[in-house]
Amino acid sequence: MHRSHRRIAPAIRALCIASTLPALSGYASAETAADDGGVVLGPLTVTATKTDLDISVLPDSASVLEQSDIRTRQPQDLGDLLRDLPNVDIGGGPRGIGQTVTIRGLSDERILFLLDGARQNFARAHSARVFVEPDLLRRVEVLRGPASVLWGSGALGGVVALETVDAADLLKPDQDVGARVKAGYQDVNGQWMGGAAVYGRAGGQFDYLLDLAYRDGGDIRLGDGSDLDNSAYQRLSGLAKGSWSPDGINRFSASYMGLDEDGEVPSNPQTAGSDDSLVDRTTRQDNLTLRYRYDDPDNALLNPSVVLYRNKTDIEEDLVSRPRSDSTELITTGFDLRNTMRFGTGSSVAQVLTYGVEYYKDEVTARRDGAPRESFPDGSQQIFSAYLQDEITLGRRLTLVPGIRWDNYRGEAERLDADDNEDSAWSIKLGASYKVTDWMALLASYNEAFRAPSISELFVSGVHFSCGRGCQNLFVPNPDLKPEKAHNKEIGISLFKDDLLTPGDAGRFRASFFRNDVSDFIDRSVLFTFRPVPGNPGPGGVSTSDNVSDARLEGFEIEALYDAPRWFAGLAYARTRGEDEDTGDPLSSVQPDAWIAQAGLRFPAQGIRLGWRGRFVDAQDRVPPGGEESDSYDVQDIWLSWDPVGSPLAGLGVDVGVDNLFDADYTPYLSALQAPGRNIKVAVSYRF
Mean pLDDT of 650-676: 95
Tell me what pLDDT residue 4 has: 41
Q: For residue 431, what pLDDT is reported?
A: 95
Pairing mode, strands 472-475 and 542-563:
parallel
Q: What is the pLDDT of residue 318?
A: 96
pLDDT of the residue at 436: 96
When mean pLDDT is compared across 324-328, 522-526, 528-532, 543-547, the lowest value belongs to: 522-526
Integer Cα distance of 296 and 299 in angstroms = 5
**Sheet strands (E) in 452-501:** 462-466, 472-475, 484-498
Residue 416: its pLDDT value, please?
67
- The CA distance from 262 to 594, in Å, is 34
- Is residue 422 within 8 A of residue 407, CB to CB? The reply is no
Question: Is residue 687 pLDDT above 90, yes or no?
Answer: yes
Provide the mean pLDDT of the chain: 89
pLDDT reported for residue 573: 98
Q: What type of residue is 14?
A: A
Q: Lowest-confidence range among 4-8, 523-527, 565-569, 607-611? A: 4-8
* Three-state secondary structure of 76-142: CCHHHHHCCCCCEEEECCCCHHHCEEEECCEEHHHEEEEECCEEECCCCCCCCCCCCCHHHEEEEEE
Mean pLDDT of 145-157: 90
Q: Is the pLDDT of residue 647 over 80?
A: no
User: Where exactly are the structural domains of the chain?
Assistant: 3-687
Per-residue pLDDT, averaged over 223-249, amounts to 96
pLDDT at residue 180 is higher than 60: yes
Ranking 21-30, 223-232, 508-517 by mean pLDDT, the lowest is: 21-30
Nearest to 355 by CA among 59, 50, 680, 80: 50
pLDDT at 22 (0 to 100): 27
**pLDDT over 90 (residue 365):** yes
How far, in Å, CA of 678 to CA of 187, rounded? Answer: 8
Q: Given this model, what pLDDT does residue 577 score?
A: 96
Environment class of 470 (CB within 10 Å of its CB; exposed 0-12, middle 13-18, buried 19+): exposed
Task: Let me know: does 413 contact 378? Beta carbons within 8 Å.
Answer: yes
Q: What is the mean predicted confidence (pLDDT) over 123-136?
A: 90
pLDDT band at 526 (very low <50, low <70, confident <90, very high): confident
- Please report the pLDDT score of residue 514 as a whole number: 97
* pLDDT class of 490 with cuts at 50, 70, 90: very high
DSSP reduced 3-state for 459? helix
Higher pLDDT, 337 or 41: 337
Whether the pLDDT of residue 388 is over 60: the answer is: yes
pLDDT of 646 reads 78
What are the pLDDT digits (tens) for 90-109? 999 999 999 999 999 998 88
- Give just the sign of the alpha carbon dihedral 614, 620, 622, 625: positive
| Mean pLDDT across 504-517 | 95
On whether the CB atoms of residues 137 and 237 are closer than 8 A, the answer is: no
pLDDT at 169 over 50: yes
When mean pLDDT is compared across 42-56, 139-153, 669-683, the lowest value belongs to 42-56
For residue range 428-445, what is the model confidence (pLDDT) as tens digits? 999 999 999 999 999 999
Confidence of residue 46 (pLDDT cuts 50, 70, 90): low
Nearest CA among 606, 600, 644 for reference residue 34:
600
Distance from C-alpha of 37 to C-alpha of 106, rounded to nearest angstrom = 28
Identify whether the C-beta of residue 164 lies closer than 8 Å to the C-beta of residue 184: no
Comparing 218-227, 307-316, 560-569, 642-651, the range with the smallest average pLDDT is 642-651
Confidence of residue 2 (pLDDT cuts 50, 70, 90): very low
**Residue 45: per-residue pLDDT:** 63
What integer pLDDT is reported at residue 457 of this predicted model? 85
Widest Cα–Cα separation across the chain: 80
pLDDT, tens digit (0-9, with 9 covering 90-100), for 184-221: 999 999 999 999 999 999 988 999 999 999 999 999 99
**What's the number of CA atoms in the CB half-sphere (13 Å) around residue 320?**
16
pTM: 0.90
- pLDDT of 43 strictly over 70: no
Is the confidence at residue 21, as pLDDT, over 50? no
Report how far Cα 464 is from the mean position of its chain's Cα atoms: 30
In this prediction, residue 35 carries a pLDDT of 43
Asked whether residue 38 carries a pLDDT value surpassing 60, the answer given is no
Mean pLDDT of 145-151: 90
Bridge-partner residues for 233, per DSSP?
Answer: 217
What number of CA atoms fall less than 13 Å from residue 445's CA on the CB side?
Answer: 29
Is the Cβ–Cβ distance between 63 and 141 less than 8 Å?
Answer: yes
Higher pLDDT, 492 or 525: 492
Classify domain 3-687 by CATH architecture: Beta Barrel (2.40)
- pLDDT tier at 88, thresholds 50, 70, 90: very high
CB environment 179-200: b (16+ within 10 A), e (fewer): ebbbbbbbebbebbbbbbbbbb
